Amino acid sequence: MDYVRDIFESALKSRVFRSREKLLPDYVPGFLPHREGEIRRVASILAPALRGEKPSNMFIYGLTGTGKTAVVRYVLSKLEASARESGSRVRGVYVNVRYRDTPYRVIADIGEAVGVRIPFTGLSVGEVFGRIVKKISDQGYIYIVVLDEIDFLVKKRGDDVLYKLTRINSELSSSRISLVGITNSVDLIESLDPRVKSSLGEVELVFPPYNAEQLRDILESRAKEAFNPGVLEDEIIPLCAALAAREHGDARRALDLLRVAGEIAERLGDVRVTRDHVMRAREEIERDRVADVVRTLPLHSKLVLASIIAVTGGGRGYATTGEVYDRYRGLTAKLGIETVTLRRVSGIIAELDMLGIISGRVVSRGRYGKTRVIELTADVNALVKALSEDITMGESVEEVWREALGKRGSMR
């Protein structure tokens, strides 16, 4: 049993990391390089809250990994700290809409954050809304409600909730709510109801992407806290920065790379993080992402994905919606499963596109109609592996599955 203890002991004193959590996505660092200007802006907009005045609503736009979330959370925590010192009644509420992408859940989260107990389901949105209003109405507080990644909510369910939220203040007696919307796409702002747009967009802020040099500074400052001295080879940080810069300057990506590279080094028992570890990290991150996505897919989405893999010949060619549908029907026939309609498959394909597993462009082929040209963007081997691991339908099914996916990938 000694080896078990060894595992635990070596986990206790990592040779690579001093403090691994400083590289995790939701860690808010005490210092944000190249974002001083943005921090100032956000802080000065929210500052009136300390005097008991409602700050302007704010819209923040910027691509993923440009520090939007970090800046807002940073300023929010400082604001709350100042409020505590001065006895001001200010509270921040942060909701990431990405995984809570229905009106009900967003409202429920806000409710939880302000201290209303809200059941998982069973109440109407209006009811929950009413409870929140009742709870906070005469507290005399200024609430700063941050809705991160608003895109997911608006795209799927429209902007009703936003409209309701912007109007909530008229129902409150002494409390006030001020909204901060964070989004990745500018188009979103344009697609909003004009009333919401003008209300939420009282102030608009754009976060530009980082360039490789700035990413380097960010990694540098975090690595100092996260890694033991001398662990990183000199080329590591520039390499991670360069790889992430290629993906529109995504700092989050860069930090993930660095962390996973460190984890790999550690797992292998190496004391130094090398270029090779970074390259492996890149593959591992992609594999995990794909596996995560595929695992949570409903059955027919998996079947459609398998059909796409089959039609594209394992990602070498392209497929059209019609071809995929034919293949899909063949698959379900062999499995003895009911088929869904073309409309649904079209929708599933659009969903897979949004998940970043495939990419589809709508193309007109003249006489031969208009369709989506579908290509795989995720690694085929990762996809096949995730799909095969996931099959829980019994033995006979496996054969059909293997046939659909081709001979690639290790089944068994």
Partner DNA sequence: CCTCCACAGGAAGCGCAGGAGT
Partner DNA sequence: ACTCCTGCGCTTCCTGTGGAGG
Binding segment for DNA (CB under 7 A), chosen from 4-12, 82-90, 171-179, 336-344, is 336-344
Q: How far is the CB of 262 from DNA (least distance, A)?
A: 34
Which parts of 33-72 interact with DNA (CB under 7 A)?
A: none
Which parts of 307-326 interact with DNA (CB under 7 A)?
A: 320-323, 325
Which parts of 370-409 interact with DNA (CB under 7 A)?
A: 370-372
Report which secondary-structure segment, H or E, holds 214. Answer: helix 212-226
Query: Contacting DNA (CB under 7 A), which of 2, 5, 121, 395?
Result: 121
Ramachandran assignment for 314, one of left (phi > 0), alpha (psi -120 to 50 degrees), beta (any other): left
Which lies closer to DNA via its Cβ, residue 17 or residue 325? 325
Q: How far is the CB of 348 from DNA (least distance, A)?
A: 6
Torsion of CA 207, 150, 161, 166, to 10 degrees: -10
Inter-CA distances, 352 with 186, 188, 304, 347, 403, Å: 22, 20, 9, 9, 22
Q: How far is the CB of 158 from DNA (least distance, A)?
A: 8
* 104 near DNA, judged by CB under 7 A: yes
* Gap between the Cα atoms of 95 and 147, Å rounded: 5
Q: How far is the CB of 104 from DNA (least distance, A)?
A: 3
Longest dimension (CA), the chain: 72
Query: Contacting DNA (CB under 7 A), which of 11, 124, 170, 392?
Result: 124
Q: How far is the CB of 129 from DNA (least distance, A)?
A: 10
Q: Find residue 93's DSSP bridge partners.
A: 145
Helix (H, G, I), strand (E, B) or coil at 215: helix
Between 201 and 240, how does the x/- string for binding to DNA read (CB under 7 A)?
----------------------------------------
Task: Give me the sign of the Cα torsion angle 311, 282, 296, 105.
Answer: negative
* Gap between the Cα atoms of 287 and 275, Å rounded: 19
Helix (H, G, I), strand (E, B) or coil at 15: coil
Q: How many residues bind DNA, per CB under 7 A?
A: 43
Determine how many CB atoms are found less than 10 A away from the CB of residue 100: 18
3-state helix, strand, coil in the chain (%, to 5): 55, 15, 30
* Gap between the Cα atoms of 378 and 329, Å rounded: 23
* Gap between the Cα atoms of 178 and 144, Å rounded: 5
* 125 near DNA, judged by CB under 7 A: yes
Query: Contacting DNA (CB under 7 A), which of 82, 339, 381, 388?
Result: 339
Q: How far is the CB of 358 from DNA (least distance, A)?
A: 12
Q: How far is the CB of 137 from DNA (least distance, A)?
A: 19
Query: Which residues, 6+ apart, have CB-to-CB distance to 207 below 8 Å?
Result: 35, 38, 60, 61, 62, 63, 66, 67, 68, 71
* 105 near DNA, judged by CB under 7 A: yes
Between 347 and 376, how does the x/- string for binding to DNA read (CB under 7 A)?
xxxx---------x-x-xxxxxxxxx----
Residues 309 and 315 sit within 8 Å (Cβ to Cβ): yes
Which lies closer to DNA via its Cβ, residue 310 or residue 349? 349
Inter-CA distances, 6 with 13, 229, 296, Å: 11, 24, 35
Query: Contacting DNA (CB under 7 A), which of 299, 335, 391, 411?
Result: 299
Q: Give the chain's length.
A: 412
Query: Contacting DNA (CB under 7 A), which of 30, 87, 122, 229?
Result: 122
- What amino acid occupies position 402? R
Which lies closer to DNA via its Cβ, residue 11 or residue 362? 362
Query: Contacting DNA (CB under 7 A), which of 335, 342, 397, 411?
Result: 342
Q: How far is the CB of 117 from DNA (least distance, A)?
A: 9
Phi, psi of 143 (to 5 degrees): -105, 130
* 335 near DNA, judged by CB under 7 A: no
Binding segment for DNA (CB under 7 A), chosen from 3-11, 35-43, 73-81, 98-106, is 98-106
Which lies closer to DNA via its Cβ, residue 214 or residue 346? 346
What residues make contact with DNA under the rule CB under 7 A?
Answer: 102-105, 119-126, 298-301, 320-323, 325, 339-344, 346-350, 360, 362, 364-372
